[in-house]
A = this chain, B = another copy of it.
Amino acid sequence: MASSSITLSQAILSSSSIARNGSSQTTTTTSLSLPTFYGLKSTTTSRRRIATVPTTTTRLSVPRASATVETLEKTTDTALVEKSVNTIRFLAIDAVEKANSGHPGLPMGCAPMGHILYDEVMRYNPKNPSWFNRDRFVLSAGHGCMLQYALLHLAGYDSVQEEDLKSFRQWGSKTPGHPENFETLGVEVTTGPLGQGICNAVGLALAEKHLAARYNKPDSEIVDHYTYCILGDGCQMEGISNEASSLAGHWGLGKLIAFYDDNHISIDGDTDIAFTESVDTRFEALGWHVIWVKNGNTGYDEIRAAIKEAKAVKDKPTLIKVTTTIGYGSPNKSNSYSVHGSALGAKEVDATRKNLGWPYEPFHVPEDVKKHWSRHTPEGAALEAEWNAKFAEYEKKYSEEAAELKSIITGDLPSGWEKALPTYTPESPADATRNLSQQNLNALAKVLPGLLGGSADLASSNMTLLKMFGDFQKNTPEERNVRFGVREHSMGAICNGIAHHSPGFIPYCATFFVFTDYMRAAMRISALSDAGVIYVMTHDSIGLGEDGPTHQPIEHLASFRAMPNILMLRPADGNETAGAYKVAVLNRKRPSVLALSRQKLPQLPGTSIEGVEKGGYIISDNSSGNKPDVILMGTGSELEIAAKAADELRKEGKTVRVVSFVSWELFDEQSDEYKESVLPASVTARVSIEAGSTFGWHKIVGWKGKAIGIDRFGASAPAGIIYKEFGITAEAVIAAAKEVS
């Protein structure tokens, strides 16, 4: 690999440039010495960095002809690059210092690659951070967010003004302690929990590859951007990143370029204490192209050449291992864990200013640096204008595709889409809600161009295949069934990336409900970052039977009901499954978890899509005056049991109301009047039944009510027997109803 890298990168450097979009670059970069790529460093080599003075000076010889030419060639005067890089470093140092909180080490080490990305490589429009065809950037090592804030600030994003930098990590600021897409325009995804970002980047790159395959035409590459990512040692250690990287290699995501900030320091010290694997070899095993930039501190040309090389490799994602010094420039703290996650302290800030020759006040951006970066505003506007013109052409020629793509870009759902939702009557055949889910997915895929997804190797159990589409694969990226393999965690995080690529994407993903435990961190980020991912979670209780307690969710419904900004839906039959999908599709800024049964369930009288939208509603009632003798409540597969118990109790003369509690969150959002109409305060005789933990139900059934559930682990046996042994039965509901009423 090493030798081929030398050849390829040097070949690119010495040849005339390869411009995107077919526009040719007339001047070639003159560099005094070519960057050299040596073989991969042995892991036993001493890791202490020696900051070397850059020996190459590359000048911008000709002003750029158009905003769309390959920017990589236009390197700036190295002194100005250095000044810009130090501006980034000191903005980070100063912000962390002022907050007395944060992580200066990464921005100081990664400033060179950050500068080259945002100033020379990436195509974006700072005044419209959501311009569709922009290059995406993900800081997977999210703790280094001051790097990103400094870059957004320099690039002219309105979201990060000087006062925002000065209020880093303060209440209400646009510069929180980790990058949050919902706080700061220009931040694509929320990162911080390690390893998530690289998976988001895989999702973003997947989305681009998919849309390009679906919508590009021989005469119009209307979808065409790169996805860049910076990840650190911590991201590399997390299993989730290996999962997504394996998929990225499998899918051949050639426009994904990840920078591995190889600084060899993590919070506990030198990474040698826990991380001595060969990352390079691992990524080669995963099917990536791997390049090593040995001098990430000042080797600007090395970084540039690596990016060029990465772009030239079109069938594989590229990992650029950039060896940097954490806290570069700090004479006493660089290359140590002490610069990772704490402010440098006034004394060391002074020493660093001296060491890097930085005479400026805190937060100062030198005029020449400011001026240099100021071109991104007009250039970004030009890039977008050019793309808009291109899209107008495209629209003329390919109106149908343009309309579809537009709906993905804008997130406007096609009108009348919800008419595609299937409906059922009590006479419709009994079926498992996982099967009913598949009917919904297949119906919706026809009307929602942004719906795509798949399962973590359980497609035939989760029932998630879209029958009219093939598999999204390296050579069939236009297809919509994504095969994630047994990789739940990265599946969720990849879907977050897809969701954040464009508002019209509606990614869904699936596994057994119990295995949400494997992907909970990604699901929480869906909830936190407003990603409307649909989690199709089947085998949702002891009803799965023989697989036993390792596979039987118990506490999972409660655990998601407790999580903010996520909808936990447990439909009972066909109409409720359709209702759950309606809610999930409409909630584009809130993920939905659909808990679905493995076992067959009858179509119940009284269920409805509209009912589901209210979260809790009456499916049957023989009382009058809003005063039933008892209210029975159930969700999902246990709603049938509640309905049966009601039938029996009514035979005995009781007035009984049956309430489906399909989504607690939606019910909570209803008016007090509605809530009172379903659960009158005066009726304290209430019984709930759910094949899961009773935790949380007391808020609904009250002190005088009774919650029937399972507060132990499950068991391996046929489902019917477990239900009986665990007392999840109509008899138990009847007995409880008599006890409380």
Contacts and interface: CB of A to CB of B under 8 A. Distances in A.
Interface of A: 99, 101-102, 142, 169-173, 176-178, 180, 190-195, 233-235, 237-243, 246-247, 249-250, 266-268, 271, 273-282, 284-287, 337, 455, 457-461, 471, 473, 483-490, 514-515, 517-518, 520-521, 524-525, 527-528, 545-551, 554-555, 558-559, 561-565, 693, 695-696, 698-699, 702-703, 711-713, 715-718, 721-722, 725
A180 B550 contact: yes
30 contacts: A142-B550, A169-B548, A170-B721, A173-B716, A176-B715, A176-B716, A190-B550, A192-B550, A193-B514, A237-B243, A237-B246, A237-B487, A238-B488, A239-B489, A250-B275, A267-B461, A273-B471, A274-B483, A274-B485, A278-B285, A282-B282, A489-B518, A515-B521, A528-B549, A558-B559, A561-B695, A562-B693, A564-B713, A565-B713, A696-B696
A582 to B, nearest CB: 25
Given A238-B486, A485-B266, A515-B521, A696 B457 contact: no
A722 B171 CA distance: 7
B239 A178 contact: no
Contacts of A99: 546
A546 B460 contact: no
Contact of A717 (B170, B279, B459, B521): B170
Contacts of A712: 564-565
Nearest to A249: B277
A191 to B, nearest CB: 8
B281 A287 contact: no
Contact of A246 (B275, B455, B524): B275
Contacts of A555: 559, 562-564
A635 to B, nearest CB: 15
A573 B99 CA distance: 28
Contact of A551 (B178, B239, B546): B178
A484 B274 contact: yes
Contacts of A721: 170-171
Contact of A176 (B280, B284, B548, B725): B548
Q: Which 4 A-B pairs have the closest CB atoms?
A: A239-B239, A274-B485, A176-B716, A281-B285
A171 B277 contact: no
Contacts of A237: 243, 246, 457, 485-487
B267 A457 contact: yes
Nearest to A700: B698
A171 B525 CA distance: 39
**Residue among A459, A488, A490, A549 having the largest count of chain B Cβ atoms under 10 Å:** A549
Given A249-B277, A282-B285, A555-B563, 19 more contacts: A101-B718, A177-B716, A178-B547, A180-B716, A191-B550, A192-B550, A193-B517, A237-B246, A237-B487, A238-B486, A239-B239, A239-B241, A249-B276, A267-B460, A268-B460, A273-B473, A275-B485, A564-B713, A698-B698
Contacts of A711: 564
Given A275-B246, A550-B190, A695 B558 contact: yes
Given A241-B239, A713-B528, A458 B548 contact: no
B274 A178 contact: no
A528 B554 CA distance: 11
Contacts of A278: 285
Contacts of A246: 237, 275, 277
A192 B514 CA distance: 12
Contacts of A458: 267-268
A251 to B, nearest CB: 9
Contacts of A192: 547-548, 550-551
A339 to B, nearest CB: 14
Nearest to A668: B711
Nearest to A563: B555
Given A237-B485, A564-B711, A698 B695 contact: no
A247 B567 CA distance: 37
A194 B457 CA distance: 12
A260 to B, nearest CB: 14
Contacts of A518: 193, 238, 240, 489, 520-521
Nearest to A703: B702
Contacts of A716: 169-171, 173, 176-178, 180
A699 B699 CA distance: 7
B101 A546 contact: yes
A462 to B, nearest CB: 10
Contacts of A242: 239, 242-243
Given A194-B486, A711-B564, A546 B169 contact: yes
